[in-house]
Chains A and B, each alone.
Chain A
Amino acid sequence: NAGVTQTPKFQVLKTGQSMTLQCAQDMNHEYMSWYRQDPGMGLRLIHYSVGAGITDQGEVPNGYNVSRSTTEDFPLRLLSAAPSQTSVYFCASSYRFYNEQFFGPGTRLTVL
């Protein structure tokens, strides 16, 4: 099993550009989530999904969109990148929302 994979590992964007961060898991987990990690802020939940076709907002959803068309994939879209979105983004998955979460390797995003 590859576990949770994320691409790209690093990305630099200019303000106003859009992009999609990819996340995939091969563990047949129902629950998937996106976090951002900023110094001194811990992990903040952006969006999550309890199953294919179902998504919901977390603590900091503004500026991000998600969709979950398959169990395996949970892409995160930045609609119009802003410098405030410079961060490290982690995708995680678990069998159910209350189970142990497994994290991907992260994407380091810089917005200039």
Chain B
Amino acid sequence: ELKVEQNPLFLSMQEGKNYTIYCNYSTTSDRLYWYRQDPGKSLESLFVLLSNGAVKQEGRLMASLDTKARLSTLHITAAVHDLSATYFCAVVDSGNTPLVFGKGTRLSVIA
């Protein structure tokens, strides 16, 4: 059974600082997705990572995938308040099963 673990679950960071959110998963997969959820809103797709070594960047966020380590990272550079949200990773199992989501990382960027 595929398990997806994110850490940290809560993150309070100062504006201008850098930090990384980690997503570990337990079985072989080469597809991983990152989503953002603002309070009271739905989930919005951020990144689609489809192969080992994939790296995607948008603005102050950069996501990468290491399928051998079964690890994805979401790196935040020079955080700003607008990045405050909950971030989820979701992994496709190698079998014919739906996406499995991590529990989410609630990020709060403070001045």
Contact = CB atoms under 8 A, between A and B. Distances in A.
Contacts of A33: 98
Contacts of A104: 42
Given A33-B98, A90-B43, A98 B92 contact: yes
Interface stretch (A17-25, A39-47, A71-79): A39-47
Interface of A: 31, 33, 35, 40-43, 45, 48, 58, 90, 92, 97-98, 100-106
Contacts of B88: 42-43
B33 interface: yes
Interface stretch (B58-66, B75-83, B100-108): B100-108
A98 B42 CA distance: 20
A40 B9 CA distance: 9
B103 A105 contact: no
Interface of B: 31, 33, 35, 41-45, 48, 88, 90, 92, 96-99, 101-104
A82 B52 CA distance: 44
A40 B103 contact: yes
A42 B45 contact: no
Contact of B97 (A43, A90, A97, A103): A97
Interface hub of B31, B43, B45, B99 (most chain A Cβ within 10 A): B99
